[in-house]
Every structure is written in C-alpha cells, then in structure tokens.
Amino acid sequence: MRYRTTPWLFLTPFLLAFTAFFIAPVGYAVYLSLFIKKRSGFGPAQNVFGGLENYLRAFQDTAFLQSLGNILLFLAIQVPIMLIVATAMALILDSVKSGSAQKFFRTAFYLPYTVPGVIAGLLWGYLYSKNLSPLNQITGLKTDFLSSSILLFSIGNIVTWTWTGYNMITLYAALQNVPGDIYEAARIDGASNWNLTRYIKLPLLRPALTLTAIFSIIGTMQIFSEPFVLRPLGYVPDNITPNTYLYLAVARDGNFGYGAALAIIMALFTLIFSSFFLRNVRGETA
Amino acid sequence: MKKVMLSLSALSISTLLLAGSALAADPAFPKAPSGNITLEVWSWVPGLDKTVASFEKAYPNIKIKILNLGGGPATYTKLQTAIKAGAGAPDVAQVEYGFLPAFADTGGLADLSKYGAGDYEEYFVPWTWGQVSPDGKAVYAIPQDTGPFAMVYRNDILKKYGVAVPKTWDEYAKAAATVKTKSKGTVKFGNFYSTFAPWFMALAWADGGQFFKRDGDGWIQNLNNASAKKVLNYWNGMIRRGEVGTLAGFSADYWNAAGAGKLATNMEAAWGPGGYAGSLGTKSAGMWRAAPLPQWTAGGSIKSGNWGGSSNVVTTQSKNPQAATLFALWLNLSSTAITADWNNGGLFPASDAGLALPALAVTSKNPSKFFGGQNISAVYAQASRGVNVNFEWAPWFPFVNDNYTKQIDRMLKGQLTPDQALDAWQAESLAYAKQNGFTVK
C-alpha cells in the first residue's frame, strides 16, 4: 500500500499544477467551443448550447480554410529554405577552426533570435516601407513589400531571419557532439571533405534535423505577432494565418465559442501534421 | 461678390459662436447626493487625476478613483468582461462613440436620462448628442471629446505652385492636377488613408452619408450609400491620376513625406494637428495651416464629419449612478475640466460653450504654434457645429472597419471599381452581421 501512495504523493505538486494550468484551460476551451451566440432585437447576445455547430461552421468557413492553405504554403516554402540555410551555416561553422571569426559569426547568426518577435516586426515594417526601405533606395525600385499579394513571403523572410540562427545553433551543437575519432577514421580511409559531409555529418545530423523540423512546423502554425504588428502599415488579411483569424474572432468580434473551436481544430491539425511528418521520417530510417 | 459672401459667412460663424456662448460654460449641475461616496473611473485621458482634484474640492463628499487601463481596446476588453461577469465594473468609463452601440447592447450601461442627463442636451454640440442618445430618449453616455474634420495644408507649397486654398472639392481636384503638373509628380496634393474606414466615413458623413440606422427591432446597414460612392469615386480618380498618395496613416513613410514637403494637404480630425506637431517636431514647423473641409457645393454653410472622440458611460453596476452622472456632466461641461483636458491631453470638447473657451484659442502653444500661430481651434469649432447630427454606428462596426481595408486594397490594385468595392463591403459586412445573429437588412 505504502509503495502505491508514495509516488502519488511526490507527483501531487506536479499533478495539481498540471491540472490547474493545463488540463483545466483546455477543458474550458472545449466547453466554450460548444456555445454559440444568439440575439434578438437590440438585446445583448445570449450564449446558448450549440453542440458541434461551431466546428461545422469552421469547416464551411472559406476564410478559415484559406488561412490553413496559407500556412501550408508557408510550411512548404519557408521551412525547407530555413533548414537548408541553417544546416549549411552549421556545417561551415563546424568545419572552420575555432577562432575569433568563427565565434563572431556564430553569435551574429544567432543574434536575430534574441530580438522579440514584436520588435522584429516593427523593425521589418520600417525596412519594408515603400519609400523608406533601404533596399528600394539602393536598387531604385519601388517594391511594396507590404502589398497583400506578397505579404506572406515578406513575413516568411522575417521568420527566416529570426529562426535560422536558432536552428543553426541546435544543428551546430549536434555536430559538436560527434566524437572526433569518427572523422579521423574516415580521413584514414581516404574520405574527402565532401564525402565526410555527405556520408558522416549529414546522417548524424538526422535526429537534430527532425527535431528542428518538428519545432518549425509547430512554430509556423503559431505565427501571429509578425502579421499583427504589420497590420497598421497596410492591408493585412484577417485570415493571413489561422492564429490572426481566431484572435480576431475573439478579441474583435467577441465570439469566444467560435474562437475556442478554431483553437482546438488548430491544435489537432498541428498534432496530426507533426505526427504524420514524424512517422514518415522514422519510416525512412527503419 | 466673393468678398461679400466671405464676410457673410464670417458673420454667420460669429453669430453661431455667439449663440453657442449664450449658454454658460458652467451650467447649474444636478444636486450632489449626500453621504460619503467613492466613484471609480476608467479613462485614458492624460492628466485626468489633476482635473478631478477640482471636482473633489467642489464636492467634498465625493472621492474619485481614476484607473488608466490604456486606450481603447485595453479598456474595452476589461469593461466587457466586468459587464459580463456582473461585478467589477467601474462607476464611470470612457468609451469611443463608434463602440457605444456594442456596449449598449450588452445591457451594462445605465440610462442616464433617469438621472436628469436629458436636461443637458442643449449644452453639447448637437451632433454629439445623437451619438450618445440615438433614439432621442435613452441617454447612454455623456459626450466628452470630438474629432470634427477640417483640412490641414502646407501654406508654402500652395503658394509655391500658385494654388489658392480650395473651398470646394471641385477646386481641390483642380488644384491637385495643377500641383501634379507643376511639381512633375513629386508632390502629392493629398493622401487617402487606405486603412482607416472612419476617415473615409467622416468624408461621406460630411455629405450626409448614413451607414447604419436603427429600424424597429433591427438595423439597416447601408455602406454603399450614394455619398460613399460619390466620395470614393472622387478620391479614386485622383489616386489613379497620381495626384493623391495612399500612404498608411501614422506610419514612418507618412510622416517622412509630410515633413519633407512631398504632401500638400490632408483631411484631419480636431485631434490630428496635435499629432503633426508631436511627430514632425521642427520639420516643416510653422508652415502648416488649417482650413474648413472643402465642400461639395460652394457658398453654403460648412458641413463636416467626425472621426474619433469619446464619451463617458455610467454602468448599471454603479451603486451611485446619481453621483456618477453628476461627475460625467461636470467633467464635460465645467470650464475647469474642459480647459485642463485640452491643456493636458488635447481633448477637443463636445461642450458647445467649451469650444469658445480661451484656452483653446491660445496660439503660442502647440498645436496652434506649429500651425504658424493660426487659431486652428476656431476652424475646428466651426467644423464641429457643421457635423451631421443623424449619424449612427452599429455593434458590429469593428468587423466593418477591417473589411473596409480589404475592399479598398482590392480597389487600389485595380481589381474592383470604387462602386464594386463598396458593394462588396456592404455584402460581406451584412453576411457577417447576419451570421452573428443581428437582425439587419
């Protein structure tokens, strides 16, 4: 008996906090998502039980589906670019002998990650403005980076700028963990630099790459602050990302039920997408 | 002939001013209830704590507790939650006109006509009363500050290109064409704020455009009204011809253009000039002037619209609604409070007599100082008295506000004509309102 209670006693502090700060809010969100707003005349809106109506609405809501499409496009383009660049930078840093230049670049690449997302958004908002953008001033072009037709890519650029260094550090750390004798053995066998990279470093990077890819997928699903900060500078569609769309449903329209339903759909979507990715990657290694 | 008309209109302005001043700036306020009372006030007016000290002196048994929760949305979220929760709401709160219907719909606002507020209608600029009492019976708030529309312009640029200050939209368009030709397109005559629906609505408002209306148990929404179409087609023409820019308001790009002499005029609310003085600093200081909003027909009285401004509501949770109403009236009708709010926060008063207070006419301080020492408050006071009184808002305005930006973006890209953009605005906003349970047609 004692053996059974003791572990639970030790677990209690964690379980209490986990229930209060994790299970309860999620449970409340599920509960909220079952209510819809009803009005009559000028009276205040009533929250009435609507079952799965909010979920049905979400799957018929073209604006919301479009936001999912946007984020898939973003995933397909931005994440691979970012991870390829991060890998390349990690490999370069790894192959260069430790020195002050190496240290400098390692820090410089990482630096954007330390800038808070909102500040980065404001900074880029300035760099993107049509008449003040240094890029436009140098090239003499008048590109409107904030135009709604290319805004998703401009945001992709901000995200790449912020997160490439972070992913690079993760990959670089993984490379540092490779025991030196593996390289030594390969060199004795006559492996060239390219072969060393292709057949030893990259395969060994695989777990770290999987990790960064999963984090990038989850991070992409949560993109919010960049488009939100750019809103005052021009037209940013409500549904540029699912998160801005569900935020506006709650904060602007006061529709807590619909917002909660969208949040739950997004969580499931992320879960399915990440596990799908993980399963495929694992399948290949096995 | 022109001179005669000018002096005639000047005469009518001064009569109007006199008519306004005929009502005292400090009317007899309702009697204060007895006993010790503490009122909680949520407001983001700068320096309000100093203003209320005079109130506490005049009414020693009433203490005021000011909470500044931050402007607009920050306060609204908390107020909405407190009203929904049925506890924790303040006695008095600041709410912008456009958001009043949404709060009135929650049922959390006290009807101030029960506490005698109806007797004070005549002390406010007429249109402001329409904002707080749309049906003319229930009074949901006491008007506080306003944003009537006028034109700001660069005196030096107009002189340089030899154009007179436009009095009509016809003259404005002609001047825009002249400046474009003479400056070889380097100077834009005006700027269309493509992301500010209330800016555009104020221009249509000046022409009598009505976007929302209560009708029986429901609403009528008419975003594609004739005035809106007229105004949007007019501006779109100048945008297409490259005479008018489309920089986002309050952006670095905008202030840069305004300070560097690349922009000749703009339509701004009464609180706008303070922003010019603050954001431009020494750049182009003293070169700006203000003039009445250009009119669609020459010679009539000046008609204007409004952008922004706010009111003070009393919540149904207040235990002292009588004292709260008294405070809201005092805050917006006593010359002490109006003067302090103008000096500390640049609040352009809703009180009719307040428009004539000496503090507003001080030209040695900003914003008038930045405008070359012109008494710009006089221009805006005249504008406020010319604002159409029947303008209403709807509870789903926040959505309408964002959807406008979407349709205008499509128009500026050439995907929609101005008429189509307004029709799409109307259709999508209507669908949204219906989906969210409003009875609207």
B107 and A CB contact within 8 Å? yes
Does residue B141 share a domain with residue B156? no
* B11: in domain: no
Does residue B340 share a domain with residue B232? no
Task: Name B310's Cβ contacts closer than 8 Å, sequence gap at least 6.
Answer: B94, B95, B96, B97, B144, B145
B409 and A CB contact within 8 Å? yes
Q: Which residues of A touch B247 (CB under 8 A)?
A: 131
Does residue B253 share a domain with residue B342? no
Q: Please check whether residue B293 is in contact with residue B267, taking contact to mean a CB–CB distance below 8 angstroms.
A: yes
Instruction: Looking at the complex, report in whole angstroms how far the Cα of residue B335 sits from the nearest Cα belonging to chain A.
Output: 36
Kindly report, residue by residue over A176-202, the tens digit of the pLDDT: 888 888 888 988 988 888 888 888 899
Q: What ipTM was assigned to the predicted interfaces of this complex?
A: 0.82
Q: How far apart are CA B225 and CA B205, in angstroms?
A: 11
Query: Best mutation site among A37, A235, A248, A252 for testing chain B: the one with the most B CBs within 10 Å?
Result: A235
Does residue B269 share a domain with residue B133? no
Residue B247 — left, alpha, or beta (φ > 0 → left; ψ -120 to 50 → alpha)? beta
Kindly report, residue by residue over B349-386, the tens digit of the pLDDT: 999 999 999 999 999 998 999 999 999 999 999 999 99
Q: Which residues of A touch B253 (CB under 8 A)?
A: 129-132
Q: Give which of B241, B232, B138, B157 is closest to B193, Cα–Cα.
A: B232
Cis peptide bond N-terminal to B358, omega within 30: no
Q: With respect to CATH, is domain A48-285 assigned 3.40.228.10?
A: no
Does A234 contact B248 at a Cβ distance shorter than 8 Å?
A: yes
pLDDT of residue B6: 42
Does residue B428 share a domain with residue B297? yes
Confidence tier at A44 by pLDDT (50, 70, 90): low
Domain that holds residue B166: 148-304+391-435
pLDDT of residue A137: 84
Q: Give which of B250, B245, B259 is closest to B307, Cα–Cα.
A: B250
Domain ranges of chain A: 48-285
**Which of B366, B383, B401 finishes a domain?**
B366
Number of domains in chain B: 2
Q: How far apart are CA B423 and CA A260, in angstroms?
A: 31
Does residue B209 share a domain with residue B91? no
Confidence tier at B5 by pLDDT (50, 70, 90): very low
pLDDT higher than 90, residue B56:
yes
Q: How far apart are CA A192 and CA A175, in angstroms?
A: 18
Q: Which residues of A touch B436 (CB under 8 A)?
A: 37, 39, 45, 253, 255
Kindly report, residue by residue over A17-33, the tens digit of the pLDDT: 999 999 999 999 999 99
- What residue in B sits closest to A257 (Cα-Cα)? B436
Does residue B68 share a domain with residue B172? no
Q: Between β-strands B218-221 and B244-245, what pairing exists: parallel, antiparallel or unpaired?
A: unpaired
Q: Which two tokens stand for residue A207?
A: 């777990």
pLDDT of residue B368: 93
Give the long-range contacts of residues A199-203, CB within 8 A, separation 24 or more.
A201/A91, A201/A94, A201/A175, A202/A87
- What residue in B sits closest to A250 (Cα-Cα)? B77
Does residue B314 share a domain with residue B216? no
Q: Which residues of B touch A254 (CB under 8 A)?
A: 80
- The chain-wide mean pLDDT, for chain A, equals 89
Tell the residue number behind the tokens 């790459």, with chain if given. A209
> In terms of pLDDT, which residue wins out, A142 or A161?
A161
Percent of chain A scored above 90 by pLDDT? 53
Does B398 contact A253 at a Cβ distance shorter than 8 Å?
A: yes
Does residue B272 share a domain with residue B419? yes
Task: Name B62's Cβ contacts closer than 8 Å, sequence gap at least 6.
Answer: B32, B37, B38, B39, B55, B56, B323, B326, B327
Task: Name B260's Cβ contacts closer than 8 Å, sequence gap at least 6.
Answer: B283, B284
pLDDT higher than 80, residue B92:
yes
DSSP state of B66: E
* B295: in domain: yes
Does B252 contact A126 at a Cβ distance shorter than 8 Å?
A: yes
pLDDT of residue B99: 86
Q: Between β-strands B62-67 and B218-221, what pairing exists: parallel, antiparallel or unpaired?
A: unpaired
Q: How far apart are CA B93 and CA B148, in angstroms?
A: 22
Does residue B107 share a domain with residue B192? no
Quick one: B370 exposed, middle or buried, by C-beta within 10 A (0-12, 13-18, 19+)? Answer: buried
Q: Which two tokens stand for residue B87?
A: 């506890």
Q: How far apart are CA B266 and CA B263, in angstroms?
A: 8
Q: Which residues of A touch B428 (CB under 8 A)?
A: none
Q: Which two tokens stand for residue A122?
A: 């404001």
**Which of B329, B351, B366 finishes a domain?**
B366
Kindly report, residue by residue over B98-125, the tens digit of the pLDDT: 889 888 877 899 999 999 999 999 999 9
Across residues A207-231, what is the average pLDDT?
92
Q: How far apart are CA B94 and CA B387, in angstroms?
A: 22
DSSP state of B271: T
Q: Which two tokens stand for residue A50?
A: 């609507």
Residue B76 vs residues B103, B128, B271: alpha-carbon distances, Å: 9, 21, 21
Q: How far apart are CA A101 and CA A121, in angstroms?
A: 29
Q: Which residues of B touch A252 (CB under 8 A)?
A: 398-399, 402
Tell the residue number behind the tokens 């049922």, with chain if given. B107
The CATH number covering residue B250 comes to 3.40.190.10
Confidence tier at B85 by pLDDT (50, 70, 90): confident
Q: Please check whether residue B343 is in contact with residue B362, taking contact to mean a CB–CB distance below 8 angstroms.
A: no
B161 and A CB contact within 8 Å? no
Q: How far apart are CA B13 and CA A121, in angstroms?
A: 48
Q: Which two tokens stand for residue B211?
A: 């976007």
Q: Which residues of A touch B103 (CB under 8 A)?
A: none
Residue B297: CB atoms within 10 Å? 10
Instruction: Looking at the complex, report in whole angstroms how far the Cα of residue B307 sits from the nearest Cα belonging to chain A.
Output: 17
User: Which of A176-180, B12-16, B132-136, B215-219 bottoms out in mean pLDDT, i.e. has the lowest?
Assistant: B12-16
* B376: in domain: no
Across residues B291-306, what is the average pLDDT?
94
Q: How far apart are CA A79 and CA A221, in angstroms?
A: 11
- Residue B151: φ, ψ to 5°: -105, 130
Residues of A at the B interface, defined by Cβ within 8 angstroms = 37-45, 126, 129-132, 148-149, 232-235, 237-238, 248, 251-255
Q: Which two tokens stand for residue B67?
A: 């909470």
Q: How far apart are CA B416 and CA B243, in angstroms?
A: 20
Does A148 contact B194 at a Cβ distance shorter than 8 Å?
A: no
In angstroms, how far is the first alpha carbon of chain B from the final one?
48
Q: Which residues of A touch B108 (CB under 8 A)?
A: 44
pLDDT higher than 50, residue B13:
no
Does A232 contact B251 at a Cβ distance shorter than 8 Å?
A: yes
**Which of B350, B366, B382 finishes a domain?**
B366
Does residue B84 share a domain with residue B214? no
Q: Please check whether residue B183 is in contact with residue B422, taking contact to mean a CB–CB distance below 8 angstroms.
A: no
DSSP state of B291: E
* B197: in domain: yes
Q: How far apart are CA A54 and CA A37, in angstroms?
A: 10
Does A129 contact B251 at a Cβ distance shorter than 8 Å?
A: yes
pLDDT higher than 60, residue B21:
no
- Residue B307: φ, ψ to 5°: -130, 115
Q: Which two tokens stand for residue A24?
A: 């309860």
Q: Please check whether residue B51 is in contact with residue B339, taking contact to mean a CB–CB distance below 8 angstroms.
A: no
- Residue B438: φ, ψ to 5°: -85, 145
∠ CA A224-A229-A235, nearest 5°, is 95
Q: Give which of B248, B295, B202 is closest to B9, Cα–Cα.
A: B295
Q: Please check whether residue B310 is in contact with residue B400, taking contact to mean a CB–CB distance below 8 angstroms.
A: no
pLDDT higher than 50, residue B393:
yes
Q: How far apart are CA B15 and CA B25, in angstroms?
A: 17
Does residue B82 share a domain with residue B165? no
∠ CA B269-B272-B274, nearest 5°, is 140
Q: Which residues of B touch A126 (CB under 8 A)?
A: 252
Instruction: Looking at the complex, report in whole angstroms how far the Cα of residue B66 sits from the nearest Cα belonging to chain A.
Output: 25
Quick one: B27 exposed, middle or buried, by C-beta within 10 A (0-12, 13-18, 19+)? Answer: middle
Residues of B numbered 347-386 whose beta carbons fall under 8 angstroms of chain A's beta carbons: which are they?
none
